[in-house]
Each structure stands twice: as C-alpha cells, then as structure tokens.
Amino acid sequence: MDKLSRGTALNGNVRVFCCNTTELVQDAATRHDLYPTAAAALGRCLSVACIMGSMLKDSKEKLEIVIDGNGPIGQVVADGYYDGTVRGYVDNPHVQFEKENHKLDVGKAVGTDGVLRVVKDLSMKRPFISEVPLQSGEIGDDFAYYFAESEQTNSAVSVGVLVDTDCSIKSAGALVIQMMPSAVETDIQIVEDIVSHLKPISQIIDEMKDPTEIVKAIFSDYEELETRELQFKCECSRARFAYVLAKLPVKDLQEMIDEDHGCEVACKFCGKKYKYSEETLQGYINAQKAAEETGGNEA
C-alpha cells in the first residue's frame, strides 16, 4: 500500500512531506493506458496532490490541480482529498518524448507556455483559486514556484516517476521540504545542502520504499506527526452520470436513441465506463415531458 509521512525536522523549523505513490501511479497508468512520458507527468502531479491533500484541514476540503502548458499532452489534472485518495487524467495519454540521455522529457510533453492552477474547495462559499505561470513544465520546479508565490512558503520539491523497461511503474513519489516562519539562515543552508546532494526521489524510493525511513535518513531529528495510506480512487457512479444525462435536452437524448440505441459514458478521471439503454434514455425523455406538463398545469 502506498504511504505518506508528514512531520517536522531541524527543531521544528522545517516541515517535511514524503510519499511513495508507486502503486497508485501504476493504477493510473493502467486505467488510462498512459505512455511512459504521460505516466511520468500524471504520476508527478498525483504525487504532489497526495502531499497537498495531507495539508487540508478536514474531510470537507478538497483540491484540484490543473497543469496546462499548451504542450502535446494537453491538460494534466489531479484531484487530492483529505483521506489520502487522489484521481486524475491527462488529455492525451499517448505522448512519449525522451531526452538525449534517454530520460523521459516531461517538460516537452507538458509545455511551458501556460499555467499551474490550484483550486481549493475549503467548504466556504467560493473556492480558493490560485494560478502561477509554468516554470519548466517538469512539475517539481513548477510546484516549488507555486508554493513560494501563492502560499508564501519556500519549498524544495522533488518529484519523480521511474518507468521500467516493460513500461510498468518501478517507483514513484515526492519529497517536499518547507521552511517554517521560524526557520533561520542556517536551516535554509542545511536544506539547500541536502537538496543539492540528493539522488532523484524516484531512485531513493526504488531503493528504500518506506517514506518514514527515507525522511529519517535525510533528517536525523525527524519527528513524524502522521502517516496515511494513499490510493487512486474515483467517486464517480452510475447514479451521478444518470443525474446529468436525465437533464440533457430531449433532442439530444432522442438523437442517442435514434443513432446509437443508448449511450456509453466514460469517466474522464478513472476511465470507468457506464452504459445506459435505449429504455433508460426514453425514461428520461418521458420524465422531462411529464414534468413540463405538471409545470404547465401549475402555472
């Protein structure tokens, strides 16, 4: 089971988040038939969504991350929840770019001519929306910039996905180190020194697996506050799509009956497909007509 560890270090002057997301990124890759570069892009974004989900206050809150760099992959979308679940998709799952050193070129797939947007639903009247221009499209740099600009928190963000030769996900995860307001110059220097000597996080996760152990190896005084299990999970349901379908214009419903003898809806987030029969659609038409007549009588 994928796991996240959250805690503090350097006498409470930094807070640290580390997650191993190998299984959930594999789950996303299978569901969406992601090519390796697309898997790396979505996997990085889902890993940060896990960490940002753990920053939420309670189960009523949730967040959505949209990375739109106008590159061939289109939008990269990830939702994060308080309970450690995430879901997400990319517009085009079949993109594949490699750099000269054969590393996956996420920046090229995502593009840099665009924005990173975070929509936080904090169960208040309006969602909190924050947008920053993309830095490199490599996602780690982009989130570091987001945390500094939008949340006024200097952060080191290391995020990575290692794809095996058979295209399966070998390891995935993220490490975020944030400076607390109490941090002094020495703490900043220590963190900069650590980060500059750190191996890629996907390699560390491949070797050590457990996020708690990873952070302990980095900070000897790591004080863990919490661990949570992580999972790819989508809240979609047959009833939820039915609710939307039932409200479509009669003309559109009739077209689905005449041309396709029913309809199939696929959830963008998880790829699950729901089928609705001709009879079901006819039922929606009848219900709309009946409601119209009732409404007419009342008026």
Which residues lie closer than 8 Å to 146 by C-beta, 6 or more apart?
A: 116, 118, 130, 132
Smaller CB distance to Zn ion: residue 139 or 270? 270
**Contacts of Zn ion in 233-272 (CB under 5 A):** 234, 236, 267, 269-270, 272
Cα–Cα distance, 144 to 28 (Å, whole number): 24
Segment holding 241, helix H or strand E: helix 238-246
Inter-helix orientation angle 250-260/278-298, to 10°: 160
Smaller CB distance to Zn ion: residue 118 or 270? 270
Q: How far is the CB of 158 from Zn ion (least distance, A)?
A: 29
Q: How far is the CB of 258 from Zn ion (least distance, A)?
A: 28
Q: How far is the CB of 277 from Zn ion (least distance, A)?
A: 20
Q: CA-based Rg of the chain, rounded to a whole angstrom?
A: 22
Q: How far is the CB of 46 from Zn ion (least distance, A)?
A: 14
**Contact window for Zn ion (CB under 5 A) among 6-14, 52-60, 78-86, 226-234:** 226-234
Cα–Cα distance, 275 to 268 (Å, whole number): 15
Q: How far is the CB of 115 from Zn ion (least distance, A)?
A: 25
Smaller CB distance to Zn ion: residue 237 or 294? 237
Smaller CB distance to Zn ion: residue 34 or 234? 234
Q: How far is the CB of 269 from Zn ion (least distance, A)?
A: 4
**Contacts of Zn ion in 127-156 (CB under 5 A):** none
Which residues lie closer than 8 Å to 131 by C-beta, 6 or more apart?
A: 115, 116, 117, 118
Smaller CB distance to Zn ion: residue 170 or 272? 272
Smaller CB distance to Zn ion: residue 219 or 269? 269
Cα–Cα distance, 78 to 86 (Å, whole number): 7
Q: Do 25 and 172 form a contact (C-beta atoms < 8 A)?
A: yes
Enumerate binding residues for Zn ion (CB under 5 A).
Answer: 234, 236, 267, 269-270, 272
